[in-house]
Amino acid sequence: MKWFNKIIQIFKIKELRQKIIFVFMILVVFRIAANIPVPGIDTERLRQFFSNNQLFGLLNVFTGGAMSNLSIIMLGLGPFITATIIMQLLTMIFPQLEALYKEEGETGRQKFNQYSRILTVPLAVLQSYSMLVLLSRQGILASFSTFQWATSILVITAGAVFLMWLGELISEKGIGNGVSLLIFAGIVSSVPLSIRELIVTYDVSKIPAYIAFFVVALVITASVVVITEGRRNVPISYAKRVRGNKVYGGVSTYLPLSVNPAGVIPIIFALSIMLFPGMMANFLGASSIGWVAIFAQWIGRLFQNAWFYGIMYFALVFLFTYFYTAVTFDPKNVANNLQKMGGFIPGIRPGKSTSDFLYFILNRVLLFGAIFLGTIAVLPSIVQGVTGITAFGFVIGGTALLIVVSVVLETIREINSQLTIRDYEGF
């Protein structure tokens, strides 16, 4: 009953209660927007297209069906996430951007985030146009006039910006990470439809496969929790300092290094990158320039190949795990901060030796985390191939499940921290 008492405690605190209700209302708005369609669609062909295309099917799950409904928020948070990726990549090229992001504190980060928001708009225009061209060539859209094209692009772009704003509202005034919670809501909203599809396509002869499928889902869930919560604790000691009649320091603690410090960000980054070649191939496939059309069609066929798709997806997730960790965690800065505070790792000299030791430990831990993330990313294809069940393929598959579990754990941690603060204030 401990969890029940905690729920009661959460709703007794007015500020926390208001934050949770605010998040719930934003998610309701998100679900309403996901069901407002752009007019002129052949819904049957649209459904077939998303069921036959693995990448677009997974992206459709993340948008909560907004893409398969061709709704005003069909792009989801894709343009904003892509803009964030581009800006973080640019920090490795332009020292001024890196200084803005890492050294100028909260003001610098706000400017950096503002640049990401501005970049989201042209990316949303490009993605909306490419998506509409792709769907029109599949015969899914009715013949659009120039005005209808312009209106649809404008509406879809506005929907992407609106969704970005909702995510930032949750982060600012609610509880948890807004972008993660919106993706979480999209995935969870797909569960009832998957259950319905499973009931409709129920086959007695596949009962062993169903049992195996849900056992695999439980194992995946347990693995995700273990890896998400996994830490490599590096011991830290602080030297004693005498000031007057008082002695400071002399305590021992530890520096926790997560097995998966990047969370679900590498998978989201990889999906955003994987989307572009397929879209551009479909867009340029009908080009009047012969070699461009042939090359685009070859790229399109390449990305439809299950083996190439799986290997490419795994490699991108693996690389982005290292990249995102390198951007967010700098062992050199950690070593310098420890030295300034009189802290040291037992048996390791302060300064460069500490930094090298942290690099060594981080790379060993991160290797396991990156392999785990990459495996989780391609797991839906493996599970579907073995069991032959597609109803829950994307929802209980690795990527979606990893995001759901990670967001739930992150939100629980934040709620617990809010409760702890109240406990201290009461004490």
Kind and range of the H or E run holding 153 = helix 146-173
Mean pLDDT, all residues of the chain = 76
Q: 354 or 56, which is more confident? A: 354
| pTM exceeds cut of 0.75 | no
Residue 395: what pLDDT? 47
Indicate the pLDDT class of residue 286, thresholds 50, 70 and 90.
low
Residue 290: what pLDDT? 72
Q: Examine the pLDDT at 76 and tell me if it is beyond 70.
A: yes
**Which segments of 254-397 does DSSP mark as H helices, in order?**
265-284, 290-304, 306-328, 331-340, 352-387
Residue 165: what pLDDT? 92
Q: 252 or 142, which is more confident? A: 252
Q: Between the ranges 81-90, 201-210, 380-389, where is the mean pLDDT highest? A: 81-90
Beta strand pairing call for 343-344 and 231-238: antiparallel
Residue 376 has a CB neighbour count (10 Å cut-off) of: 25
Kind and range of the H or E run holding 234 = strand 231-238
Q: Examine the pLDDT at 394 and tell me if it is beyond 50.
A: no
Q: What is the mean pLDDT of residues 314-339?
A: 82
pLDDT cut 90: percent of the chain above it: 3
Query: Which residues, other chains included, contact 19 with Cβ-Cβ below 8 Å and sequence gap of 6+?
Result: 173, 174, 175
Residue 208: what pLDDT? 73
Q: What's the CATH class of domain 14-189?
A: mainly alpha
Spatial CA neighbour of 123 closest among 67, 85, 169: 85
Q: 78 or 282, which is more confident? A: 78
Q: Examine the pLDDT at 318 and tell me if it is beyond 70.
A: yes
Residue 401: what pLDDT? 73
DSSP three-state, residue 248: strand
Q: What is the mean pLDDT of residues 129-141?
A: 74
CA 133 vs. chain centroid, Å, equals 26
Spatial CA neighbour of 396 closest among 223, 217, 195: 217
- Tell me the Ramachandran region of residue 253: left when phi exceeds 0, alpha when psi lies from -120 to 50, beta otherwise: beta
Residue 40: what pLDDT? 62
Which residues pair with residue 343 across a beta bridge?
238
Residue 147: what pLDDT? 80
Which residues pair with residue 256 across a beta bridge?
233
Which of these ranges, 163-167, 313-317, 387-391, has the smallest mean pLDDT? 387-391
Which residues pair with residue 164 across a beta bridge?
none
* 390: its two tokens: 């597609």
Q: What is the mean pLDDT of residues 334-359?
A: 82
> How far is residue 394's CA from residue 381's CA, in Å, rounded to a whole number?
9
Q: What is the mean pLDDT of residues 307-328?
A: 82
Beta strand pairing call for 246-248 and 231-238: unpaired
Q: Examine the pLDDT at 274 and tell me if it is beyond 80.
A: no
Residue 82: what pLDDT? 82
pLDDT cut 70: percent of the chain above it: 72
Residue 145: what pLDDT? 75
> How far is residue 39's CA from residue 148's CA, in Å, rounded to a whole number?
9
Q: What is the mean pLDDT of residues 381-399?
A: 55
Residue 161: what pLDDT? 92
> How far is residue 203's CA from residue 365's CA, in Å, rounded to a whole number?
43
* DSSP string covering 10-78: HHHSHHHHHHHHHHHHHHHHHHHHTT-BPSSB-HHHHHHHHHH-HHHHHHHHHTTTTTTTTBTTTTTTH
Q: Between the ranges 109-118, 196-205, 330-339, where is the mean pLDDT highest? A: 109-118
Condensed to tens digits (0 to 9), the pLDDT of residues 139-150 reads 666 667 778 788
Residue 162: what pLDDT? 92
> How far is residue 379's CA from residue 61's CA, in Å, rounded to a whole number?
16
Domain ranges of the chain: 14-189
Which of these ranges, 18-27, 97-106, 161-170, 262-271, has the smallest mean pLDDT? 97-106
Which of these ranges, 57-61, 142-146, 403-407, has the smallest mean pLDDT? 57-61
Q: Examine the pLDDT at 60 and tell me if it is beyond 60.
A: yes
Q: What is the mean pLDDT of residues 6-28?
A: 82
Burial 336-351 (b: 16+ CB within 10 A, else e): bebeeeebbbeebebe
- State how far the alpha carbon of 94 is from the alpha carbons of 87, 88, 350, 395, 416, in Å: 10, 10, 30, 39, 39
* Residue 30 identity (one-letter amino acid): F
Q: What is the mean pLDDT of residues 267-274?
A: 75
Q: Examine the pLDDT at 427 and tell me if it is beyond 50.
A: no
Spatial CA neighbour of 175 closest among 409, 404, 5, 418: 418
